Structure 1
């Protein structure tokens, strides 16, 4: 990437930050951001390999949008950022959050066959078609170290226990009618994500 291209990307980031700032002013100290601008900067930071810039942005995002869990690719970019800034324990948690939000992305990134276990897909973020928007691959030079780490992490007991429990719950939920058992399963599923953030 040429210095001019890097400069253009930095300008885009600045423009988005300005638009978000204006949005906050407009709504009296709160963000509306119905356009979803808040999700765009990480991809731009990653394009120019500015992982500390991406980390600062994610810290800002966490502070300003505490209830926003982000969408799967955004979470995946967050995982890359945490790994590249040597925050491995946090990266492990973010991998699990990514898997929880979309079970296909990790396999797509690692060029593996997509895991399909016939789960319920209640939002378009959960669909396998989302992987078509993933612009990252284990073959990218700057992501080889991340891909090696990810490949190893998904074979650990920690990840496998989490993923298997998630798959087990999702498989039962697919046919479980509304009632006490279903409610209990849904709570158990939400607890999975709460537990990884403890």
Structure 2
């Protein structure tokens, strides 16, 4: 990366932070309907500034505690946690990423995307669902992360939880009973939260 590219990315992060700060001053809180808050993590990863990324994510968690995030953002969060030597937190965030989009890891490892016959909402299975997902398990700078992630998703615990999660959403696709749907959604939420 050239010094000019580094400067451009740092400027982009700074401009986003300024825009969010201006929003808070103007409204007394954040009304980030443009989704600016999700953009800095990509720049931090491109800069290999994982410490800066972690500082940003702490700020994000404090200011947007109920924000589930998008799959790409959660994936970037996982990378940043891993690169900061936080494998347990990264493993939890990896499962959240899987729950946000059960196909994203297949995309990362360049595996064929096979749609699962299950209830889909933000978990898009349509072609092009990850058009903006630019990460690959073959990127040299992510080699250690890629190896770790491959081992994580092949672990018995991750496989068991992911299969349970998918089974719940397969049932939700056809389940009409309101109470049963509520129960299934509670089970899915518990899996997502690791409880």
TM-score scaled by structure 1?
0.94
CA deviation digits over 1:71-108, x for unaligned, max 9?
Answer: 10000000000111110000000110000010011110
CA deviation digits over 1:45-79, x for unaligned, max 9?
Answer: 11111111111111100000001011100000000
- Cα deviation, residue 3, structure 1: 1.1
Q: How does 1:36-51 map to 2 (within 5 A)?
A: 36-51=35-50
Q: How does 1:169-180 map to 2 (within 5 A)?
A: 169-180=168-179
Q: Distance in 1 between matches of 2:100 and 2:57?
A: 18
- Cα deviation, residue 115, structure 1: 4.2
- Cα deviation, residue 186, structure 1: 1.4
Q: Distance in 1 between matches of 2:105 and 2:6?
A: 28
Point out where structure 1 has 5 or more consecutive residues left out of the alignment: none
Does the CA contact (< 8 Å) of 1:103 and 1:115 recur in 2?
no
CA deviation digits over 1:127-180, x for unaligned, max 9?
Answer: 033222211001111011111111111110110111011011011111111322
* Corresponding residue for residue 67 of structure 2: 68
Q: How many residues align?
A: 193
Does the CA contact (< 8 Å) of 1:104 and 1:131 recur in 2?
no
Q: Distance in 2 between matches of 1:62 and 1:119?
A: 30
Q: How does 1:22-171 map to 2 (within 5 A)?
A: 22-28=22-28, 30-123=29-122, 126-128=123-125, 129-171=128-170
* Corresponding residue for residue 6 of structure 1: 6
Specify the SS of the correspondent of 1:111. coil
Point out where structure 2 has 5 or more consecutive residues left out of the alignment: none
* Corresponding residue for residue 21 of structure 1: 21
Does the CA contact (< 8 Å) of 1:138 and 1:144 recur in 2?
yes
